[in-house]
Amino acid sequence: MTDLTTRNGAPISRLTFGTMQFGGTADEAESQAMYDAARAAGINHFDTAVGYTGGAAETILGKLIKDHRNDIYLATKVGYVGGASRENITKHFDTCRKQLDQDAVDLLYMHRFDDDTPLEETFSTLAELQSTGAIRHIGVSNYAAWQVMKAQAVAQSLGTQIDAIQPMYSLVKRQAEVEIFPMAQDQDITIIPYSPLGGGLLTGKYGKGKTGRLNEDPRYKARYAQDWMHETAEALARLAADHETAPATLAVKWVQSHPAKPLPIISARSVAQLQPSLAAQDFEMPAALYSQITDLSVAPAPATDRLEEG
């Protein structure tokens, strides 16, 4: 696995804090409170993107890290819109640096795969940014395993490599286990998965009639629409009650406990909402409990679909 460290050489934390809510559902004061809570819990890895909340997420995060930048591992993403051309990467990254008020970041992701731009153009641009010190590490998000391997070959031909991958992964979204996780382990790529709470489904709040993204955003509603996903969330809530903890704590710890050693991204709208995810850092999960939680959900078929081989 790539050795990802802060500028002062500290290893990055086992949890990552995602700032997608900064400047949106979390105002600047609440964003600072969550940032402070994350730092107090030992988190030093913060993730954002050029377009989150119209740029407000980067602007707020930039202010928060300014006085202790060397203690923070800073990751951002470009190319979600507009493709992965040299021009678009450069334009987005210039915006990132302006919004963050930083000359450089530690990790720059391509936010999604672009079928229309040659990988040589994309990764030569990233390699140049790396060679000038504008970025330290290269990442990809929402890439399939075959897309990563094509990109990795190009990156290596340019004298660099993909250091991190950011896939969706949770107890109700386990496709990454099939090919992405084994590929990342083989290629020494750090896995930094997002949505470990399944858009809030695994907090148990929807079973109590509360609202959130699954009610407010059609994309999330469609993503987690299957009945078995809601049944899994209800079963996880019951199991959490048996262990006198929060469902979110179990959900995050389950992701973190995978043998591929993912570094899950946690996020929230408030400190109160964040605390159960932070509690995963100190929660001890024995192998038997990990297996019990795993059995609550539908396991994806293996890549070759040879089910009889287990």
Regions of the chain where pLDDT drops below 50: none
| Alpha-carbon span 177 to 183, nearest angstrom | 10
pLDDT at 310: 58
Residue-level pLDDT at 307: 67
Written as six digits, the tokens of 206 are 């929807």
User: What would the pLDDT profile of 201-236 be if each residue is shown by its tens digit?
Assistant: 999 888 777 777 888 888 988 999 899 999 999 999
Q: What angle do CA 81, 87, 93 make, to 5 degrees?
A: 70
pLDDT of 208 reads: 79
Q: What is the pLDDT of residue 216?
A: 81
Q: pLDDT digits over 232-253, tens only?
A: 999 999 999 999 999 999 999 9
The burial of 150, by beta-carbon neighbours within 10 Å (0-12 exposed, 13-18 middle, 19 or more buried), is given as middle
- The domains of the chain, with CATH numbers, are 16-166 (3.20.20.100)
Locate 8 and state its tokens. 């002062």
